[in-house]
Amino acid sequence: MKIYFVRHGEATHLEEDWHKSRISRKEFIKKMIEWEHVTLTELGKSQAINVANNLPNDYKCIYTSPLLRTKQTADRLNVLNKEVHIIHDLKEIVTTPPKIFMFMKLSIFTWIHICIVFSLLKGQVFRMTKKAKRLYNFFFEINEDIVVVSHAMRIRSFVYYAYFIPKLKVVKKDFSTCGISVIEIK
């Protein structure tokens, strides 16, 4: 059994220059809320169509995050008209920056990295690991190849978890937009 994890195609929020402008913590949190509703760009749509040609034909179904950009990606991947299921736990991993940075103006890129470090310090990695384990157990019960469409950090959590579980084998990892990471269940 293989699980094909596909990151969503390029979305409008990825077109921003994350290194250029300086924004406040409040503006960054507002952006993260807006990112829940972004759509695929034209490039993202064509990326998803191209990736559909690189997936095997014998997968059972597609599981996707409920966010619009992943659902749009799943729709374009689904050239074989398989069932598509939405799983809330496949949403992007989001954490807000600590209030200690309230009066600073930083680039989006810097805000994201502060959030990553802060989430590690808060122990969020353990919650991500538990969620990955729970979802893997759900996928094991299917016992057929599946496609999972999600977000960069969520897919990373699945791949990194797989390195520590003997019955899982990381065949391929690609976290780029519309990249395919493949996990084999031995």
- Token pair, residue 110, equals 């810097």
Q: What does the angle CA 78 – CA 79 – CA 83 come to, to the nearest 5 degrees?
A: 40
Q: Residue 103: what pLDDT?
A: 87
* Direct distance between the N- and C-terminal alpha carbons of the chain, in angstroms, rounded to an integer: 7
* pTM of this prediction exceeds 0.85: yes
At 125, the pLDDT band (50, 70, 90 cuts) reads: confident
Is it the case that residue 52 has pLDDT exceeding 80? yes
At 2-32, the pLDDT tens digits run 999 999 999 887 666 767 778 888 888 887 7
- Domains of the chain, by residue range, sit at 2-185
| CA pair distance 157, 91, nearest whole angstrom | 12
Extract the runs of DSSP E, i.e. beta strands, from 2-112: 2-7, 23-24, 61-64, 83-86, 105-106
State whether CATH 3.40.50.1240 applies to domain 2-185.
yes
At 68-100, the pLDDT tens digits run 999 999 999 999 999 999 999 998 877 778 888
